[in-house]
Amino acid sequence: MPDKHLSSQFDADLSLLSTRLLEMGGLVESQIVHAMEALNTFDVDLIERVLEGERRLNVMEMEIDEEISNVIARRQPAARDLRLLMAASKCVTNLERAGDEARKIVKRTQRIAKDANAPKVNIAEIKVSAEMASNVLHRALDAFARMDTTAAEQIIRDDEAIDNEFRAFVRKLVTYMMEDPRTISPGLDYLFIAKAIERIGDHATNIAESVVYVIKGTNVRHVPREQLELDALRS
């Protein structure tokens, strides 16, 4: 049996890490909101704020990774506890990459703002996908903090909806571009913005998959979606 005292110290370490992860996730979420708002308004201050936020995320990534290393070195966990900490480290990387995508969105927004030929694209689908991506990211981190596999498996299934919005937006963009070829170049900026949002959804999915990995010891990345659905029906 594990030493009670050591074990509760370990729990305290985990709880601190979990708080830090949720904090970092909160920052990524607000980066997504601000990036979408910047795309809507082309507000220069907002763009600068996202770029600044990204630098804070980079620092947080290094700090949390350092804390994870320290916990491993200090507590020498095995089996599931170790898997949890290694998954937390990959989780931090996913958050930082999701933050990179928010940065890419404002960089593309800057280009669109400068382009006189930029089409007046209705960004309804982009907005919907951004909200969905932000939502799944939040839920994925929450599932990670609570190690809730049921919630995690639902998130993996929900990512499909974000991919569908992405495809719908690409079809719409193609129509715009065909009608007025001058819009092709700025259209690609919109395309990469939509792609960045789809990627944020992928990062959320990665986090959700790691929950299943920690708990079940199997890597759900490579279980077909249909199998997950069958498992959900059975459970």
Q: Which is nearer to a second copy, 8 or 117 (CB)?
A: 117
Q: Which is nearer to a second copy, 55 or 146 (CB)?
A: 55
Q: Which is nearer to a second copy, 97 or 127 (CB)?
A: 97
DSSP letter (8 states) at residue 1: -
As measured in angstroms, the least distance from the Cβ of 50 to a second copy is 16
Q: Which is nearer to a second copy, 6 or 174 (CB)?
A: 174
Question: Which residues would be at the binding site for a second copy (CB under 8 A)?
Answer: 55, 58-59, 61-62, 65, 68-69, 72-73, 76-79, 82-83, 86, 89-90, 93, 170, 174, 177-178, 181-182, 184-185, 188, 191, 195, 219, 221-222
User: Token pair of 176, please?
Assistant: 């715009």
As measured in angstroms, the least distance from the Cβ of 37 to a second copy is 25
Please give the backbone phi and psi of residue 225, each rounded to the nearest 5 degrees, phi first. Answer: -50, -40
As measured in angstroms, the least distance from the Cβ of 157 to a second copy is 19
As measured in angstroms, the least distance from the Cβ of 117 to a second copy is 11
As measured in angstroms, the least distance from the Cβ of 126 to a second copy is 16
Q: Which is nearer to a second copy, 146 or 182 (CB)?
A: 182
AA letter at 173: L
As measured in angstroms, the least distance from the Cβ of 136 to a second copy is 19
Q: Which is nearer to a second copy, 42 or 176 (CB)?
A: 176
How far from the centroid of its chain's Cα atoms is residue 17's Cα? Answer: 18
Q: Which of 158, 133, 114 lies closest to 35 in space, CA to CA?
A: 133
Cα angle for residues 115, 118, 123 (degrees, 5° grid): 130
User: Token pair of 12, please?
Assistant: 């305290």
AA letter at 19: T
User: Token pair of 216, please?
Assistant: 């079940």
Alpha-carbon separation of residue 126 from 4, 129, 165 (angstroms): 50, 5, 8
AA letter at 108: R
